[in-house]
Each structure stands twice: as structure tokens, then as C-alpha cells.
Structure 1
Amino acid sequence: MTLKQGAWVMRACSKWLVGGGVLLACAGSVLAEGNPRDPYEGFNRSMFAVNEVVDKYAAKPVAQVYDHVAPLPVKAGFGNFFGNVGDLWIGANSALQGKFADAGVDVGRLLINSTVGIFGLFDVASELGLEKHEEDFGQTMAVWGVGDGGYLFWPVIGPRTARDTAGWAIDSYVDPVWRVRPISTRNSMVALRFVDIRASLLPADKVVEEAALDKYAYIRDAYLQRRRNQIFDGRPPRLED
């Protein structure tokens, strides 16, 4: 899969989300009772199977080549650059959640890393003690009281809840990488970011394969737990029995 093809896949996934949402809405009245956190499990497992094929024959091989060929400083630089690009939107979400001190840190990180850090290639802000936050619009909606809407699994995009799917769409819309021109450069950047993210997950593959009797359920439960921790900043309230 080339960089241009990778970008095309990401654009196609946006259309997938819309079409998939319609299918889920139509199917909602006939869903059998099951895991209340995973009301669309049949659909999700089908999409998970599709994703496993795409990952096995396209995404993972490209990520492995990238991980093997690219020197560690290059991979770190790419990761820092894309992280820096997202700090402004992270700051906006911090502010929307009422975390104004965090928002100030996020903007400070952007200013420092974009200048002293040479367009974000070096994470100077972290060395100065400015913590990197992980906020997105899905978390913002959760803080505002929007329910998760049930768990979903999308090919290429991966695990989400219905709320996080909507949040992902907003996050993608405001993502400055998608505004880059010419389009060929934008497509290359989108695909490179996707490959970089997939490469960062390679060490987790073996852990999942060895630990999970049911890989789908393992990934679902891990995702939901991680999102809950993110929403409550690592201090989630105790779940009711």
C-alpha cells in the first residue's frame, strides 16, 4: 500500500462511517440482547474480521518496513511533529472541558515546540516540564454528558464508541493536516501519520496475541477501559455492579 493509497483509504473511511451509521440505525430495532456495552456485536465482529485481513496484508507489512528502515530519530521526529500539530486542538478541548490551566500548557507546548523545537520535530516542551495531554472531542462530549451510544468497530479506523465516532469526525475535520496543499503532499502526510501510528502499535501485537483467547473482546475491553480512564483523567469513579 503506497502513501497515496493510504490517504485514499482514510477518506473512504469517512464515507464508511456515515453508511455504517445508517445501517446500525436500521438494525437497532432487531438487535438481540447481549453485552450492554456492545449492542452491535454481530456487526462489530464482522468489521473486525475485515480489519484483520486489511491489517495482515496491507497496513501491518507497510508499518513493519517503515519500522525496520526508518532510523529511530526519524521516527521520533515524525511522531513529535504530528503530536505538535494536534496540540492546538487538544488545548481547545481542554478549554471546552473547563481545564483552563491544561489549555494554557497545551498552547505553550505548541509555541515552544513550533519554534525552539523546529516545527515540532523535537519535543522541547516536555523537557521543560510541560506535560503532553491527550484530549479530543469525544472526551469533550463525554464531559458534557453525552452518552457513549454503544461500542463500534470500524475497518482501519479501529475501535470507537458511537460518541467517539462522532468526535473522531469532528477531530478529523479540524485537523490542519487535511488543509495542507498541494493535495499530493496532504495525502502523503496523512498516510505517513497512519503508518507511523501503526508502527508504534507493533510491540503490542505480540502481547494481544499471547494474552487473548478472544482477540476481539480483549481489544474491546481494553479500549473501553482506556477511554474511561482518559475521560476521568485517570481517576474514574467505581462502576456500579
Structure 2
Amino acid sequence: MKQTQIRLLGLGSALALLAGCASVKNPTPGDPLEGYNRSMFAFNDAVDRNLLTPVAKGYQAVVPSPVRTCVTNIFNNFGDIWSGINSFLQGRGLDSVNTFGRVLFNSTMGLGGCIDVASMKGAPRIQNDFGTTLGVWGFGQGPYLVLPLLGPSTIRDTAGTVGDGFGGSAVYANPGAINDVPVRNTIWGISVVNSRANLLNASDLLDDVALDKYSFLRDAYLQRRQALLNQKLGPVVLDRADGQNKGGSDNLPSYDDPEAGGTTGAADPNVPVYDDPDAAASGTTQSAGKAAARPAGALRQQPAATPTPPASGAASADPSLPVYTDPESK
């Protein structure tokens, strides 16, 4: 029975490959394999609708939510081992240390990874894979490619998928490291079904909003992979303990409100502090708090030269304008 299923699966894949040779009338720029990709996408979609989705819905209906969350966390915890190694291969040592710290913390305090304690403590997952590592090393992305059963990919990510399989098995980060074939296949099956169950809501939303599922998934996949690569090519961003860098910038100058009698926030020591000339003219002085906020050597607007007092009876005027006296007032 199992051999028959394997043969049918192989036959279906071969037919999809042959059908993919048909050309598309108006191929999308940047997707030279669109004819093959659409045929393989239709094949994968048929398998998903007729096999994976019903099994995933049954799994979701039978298995309680806390158990499904525990299973997801355990698989993620093992996956973090390979993610940490990829961070190291990319030269991101701090990400690697943080990821291995997550694995250690969740494996002990989180009951073998069942509870994601690290995320609860403010240490989110740093996802990584070998396809992203190849991109950091300078390998080009290549054309978009839909793999049988595995779905969206590129030439580079396909090579990365092979590396993930062998590398994860070598470091005991996936079920491929298990020598017992029945146990290994069972764990692989649980992983696939659990992952598909976690995506049921997303697939339902996709069916509702996407006019062309193939192009929607292609564009979303390519944008996500490029964003992940850009993140790995950028600097390591740390959350500071004082709460800065979380939703705001600490490089923006802080301006004082002269009517508030103090500063509106901590001033940047490199930004000059300006006094309100109207406040100086009215005889008010800068508050002690504002004066303390000004560092040594900061610029200060110089007050205007003291004007000559007007003659008796003269109205208050701008110091920069001449003062006229009323002859009738004498």
C-alpha cells in the first residue's frame, strides 16, 4: 500500500513537471519559470485541499490548544539550534549567543521547550536558515521556484533547504537525526500536520482576499525573504535597558516650552538650547531645571542689547524701534 502511494505521488509530480513546460502568454517579469510554477502550484494546492487540510482540521478539533502550543514550541526549540548555528555562520555572534541562550532557558525552565519562557521574558526568536546564510555570503537569489509539496522557494532557498535538512540532522535539530525509521516518520508527520494546522486561519484569509493565489503567494514569499536577508545584512539592534529604542528615537532634539517653565523632555547634549526672547524681555529668568539641563559649552542665544530707556510717559515699544515723545505731555 505504501509503495503504491509513493508511485502515485511520483507519477503526479512527473505529470506536473511535464505540464509545467507549457508557456504562459504574458509571463511576469522576474518569474521566467511561471509556466512550470503555476502547474506545480496547482498540484500542491490539490494535495493540500484533499489531504493536508482535512487532516489538519481533524488534528485541530481533537488536540486541545495548549497541547498544540506545546508541540509547536518544542519543534521551534529544536529549530532554534540550527538557527543559532546559521547566525554564527553569518558572523552575527550576538544573535547566535542569544539564540543558544533561548534554547538553554526553554529546555530547562520551559520543560523541554514545551513553554516558551524566553519569549515571555522579552527574548523573541531570531529565525534563521541556511538559505539566508547563502544570501549573506553573496549567493544570488535566482528565479522563483515552486517545489513539489514544499511550496514557494527560489534557486538559492532550494539549496538552503537541502542544507537545512543535512545540517539540522547533523546537530540533532530535526527528526532526521533519529535512526528509528517509524519513529522518525511519525515525528515528521506530526510536524507537518501541526504546521499546517497553525496556518489554517491564514489559508482561509488567503482564499477570501486573493484574486490570484499564485501571484499573491509568490510576491509575499519573495518580499519576506528579502526582508529577512536585509535584516541579517544590517547591524545587530539591541533593546536598551532604559526603555529607549522602543518605539522612539533618542537622537531627536528636545525643545523647551517657555510657557511650561521647564523642559518637555531630556535634551540631547549636542543640541543647543534657545531661550525665549519674549521671556527675557519681560524680566523672567530661566528655571533652575532648564538651566541644569544645558551642558557645558552649549550654544545660547544672546539677548538683544539693552535699549535706552524711553522718556517719561512713553509707551512700551520694541527696543529696535525709535521712541518718540508726545510734545503735549510736557
Pick the TM interval, shorter chain. Answer: 0.7 to 0.9
**Secondary structure at 1:159's aligned position in 2?**
strand
- 1:239 corresponds in structure 2 to none
Matches within 5 A, 1:78-157: 78-157=71-150
**CA shift in 2, pair 1:226/1:120, >3 Å:** same
Looking at structure 2, the residues matched to 235 and 31 of structure 1 have their Cα atoms a distance apart, in angstroms, of 35
Note if contact 1:97-1:140 (Cα within 8 Å) is conserved in structure 2: yes
Note if contact 1:31-1:40 (Cα within 8 Å) is conserved in structure 2: no
Q: Deviations over 1:172-230 (max 9, x none)?
A: 11223111132111111111001111111100112211211111111111111111111
Kindly indicate whether structure 1 or structure 2 has the higher relative contact order, using CA contacts under 8 Å at least 6 residues apart. 1
Unaligned stretches of 5+ residues in structure 1: 237-241
- 1:224 corresponds in structure 2 to 222
Higher helix fraction (1 or 2)? 1
State the 1:32 CA deviation.
8.7
Q: Which amino acid aligns with 1:70?
A: V
Larger radius of gyration: 2
Q: Which amino acid aligns with 2:35?
A: G
Root mean square deviation, CA, Å: 2.6
Q: Which amino acid aligns with 1:156?
A: L
Matches within 5 A, 1:27-106: 34-106=27-99
- Aligned residue pairs, count: 217
Looking at structure 2, the residues matched to 61 and 198 of structure 1 have their Cα atoms a distance apart, in angstroms, of 10
- 1:194 corresponds in structure 2 to 192
Note if contact 1:33-1:39 (Cα within 8 Å) is conserved in structure 2: no
State the 1:234 CA deviation.
8.8
Note if contact 2:24-2:34 (Cα within 8 Å) is conserved in structure 1: no
Note if contact 2:152-2:221 (Cα within 8 Å) is conserved in structure 1: yes
Looking at structure 2, the residues matched to 32 and 95 of structure 1 have their Cα atoms a distance apart, in angstroms, of 45
Q: Deviations over 1:5-57 (max 9, x none)?
A: 9xx98xx89xx7xxx7xx9xxx8xx9998333211000001101111110111
Q: Which amino acid aligns with 2:178?
A: V
Q: Deviations over 1:52-96 (max 9, x none)?
A: 110111111101111111101100000000000011110111111
Looking at structure 2, the residues matched to 45 and 31 of structure 1 have their Cα atoms a distance apart, in angstroms, of 9
Q: Which amino acid aligns with 1:201?
A: L
Q: TM-score normalized by structure 2? A: 0.61
Looking at structure 2, the residues matched to 96 and 158 of structure 1 have their Cα atoms a distance apart, in angstroms, of 26
State the 1:116 CA deviation.
1.6
State the 1:235 CA deviation.
9.2
State the 1:136 CA deviation.
0.3
**Secondary structure at 2:122's aligned position in 1?**
coil
Looking at structure 2, the residues matched to 228 and 91 of structure 1 have their Cα atoms a distance apart, in angstroms, of 20
Unaligned stretches of 5+ residues in structure 2: 235-330
Looking at structure 2, the residues matched to 170 and 100 of structure 1 have their Cα atoms a distance apart, in angstroms, of 20
